[in-house]
Amino acid sequence: MVYAALLQIRSRDANTWREQLPAQATRMGFPDIDWDAFFGPDDSPQPHIDEAIRRLKAQTPNQT
């Protein structure tokens, strides 16, 4: 349902998704979705994601 709703919105901008996705999902018959589970409380990256990226980069050997 989320994928189909995103296709209907036709945007790649996260702010547009955040604004329009709940309304689009309601029009599709899915009004009771917890959007914070998808976007978090705000648009800023979650700290644990940043830390995970740093750890992955540190573990990845340089390929030259």
Say yes or no to pLDDT of 38 above 60.
yes
For the entire predicted model, the pTM comes to 0.54
DSSP letters along 23-58, please?
A: HHHHHTT-----THHHH-SSSSPPHHHHHHHHHHHH
3-to-10, 11, 25 alpha-carbon distances in Å: 11, 12, 10
What is the pLDDT confidence band of residue 39, given thresholds at 50, 70 and 90?
A: confident
> What is the chain's mean pLDDT, rounded?
80
Q: Which pLDDT does position 2 carry in this prediction?
A: 85
Burial 12-51, CB ≥16 within 10 A → b, else e: eeeeebeebbeebbeeeeeeeeeeeeeeeeeeeeeeeeee
Q: Which pLDDT does position 30 carry in this prediction?
A: 93
